[in-house]
Structure 1
């Protein structure tokens, strides 16, 4: 398959990269919560703050018994939604 180059393929790669970064931040946030990472740590605090902002539309979507379960399910749903929306946008921008 030959490289076609151009604006559309660059846009597709950019959308894919941004989507991957968003999903990685959310998944890292889930891991930090499940492993009870020290929230006083600057990196952990930053990832959780960004994760909370990204997952705000999914906050309390499902009520769970524990915070860990709620983060796993609600943030997990957010990661899946970002993945599918980003994939669809990347497909639309592909040439």
Structure 2
């Protein structure tokens, strides 16, 4: 295996891990929201702030009547996009 190939594999792994961590944070916030976690808790606040920052472009995208549906759709879209793009880019790096 050449150095270029191993660098591409390493970069692909890093991209996949970052995309997965971003999606997990967003998914964790969706779960905490649905389970009505205590927002005064420091961990819940950190997860909420992180998820809001990661999904800033999508968290208020939908206008469902129910708040839980807006959270699931808006944040869930961001998580799926991060997973899709991260894994697609990593797949391309592995092929080259």
Report if TM-score (shorter chain) is over 0.5: yes
Q: C-alpha distance in 2, partners of 1:29/1:93? A: 30
Residue 81 of structure 1 pairs with residue 81 of structure 2 = yes
What does 1:1-95 align with in structure 2 at a 5 Å threshold? 6-94=6-94, 95=96
Following superposition, the deviation at residue 66 of structure 1 comes to: 2.0
Q: C-alpha distance in 1, partners of 2:28/2:13? A: 22
Q: Could you state the TM-score of these two structures normalised by the residue count of structure 1?
A: 0.90
Aligned length: 93
Structure 1, unaligned stretches of length 5 or more?
none
Following superposition, the deviation at residue 65 of structure 1 comes to: 1.1
Q: Could you state the TM-score of these two structures normalised by the residue count of structure 2?
A: 0.89
Following superposition, the deviation at residue 60 of structure 1 comes to: 2.1
For the aligned residue pairs, the C-alpha RMSD in angstroms reads: 1.7
Q: C-alpha distance in 2, partners of 1:38/1:92? A: 41
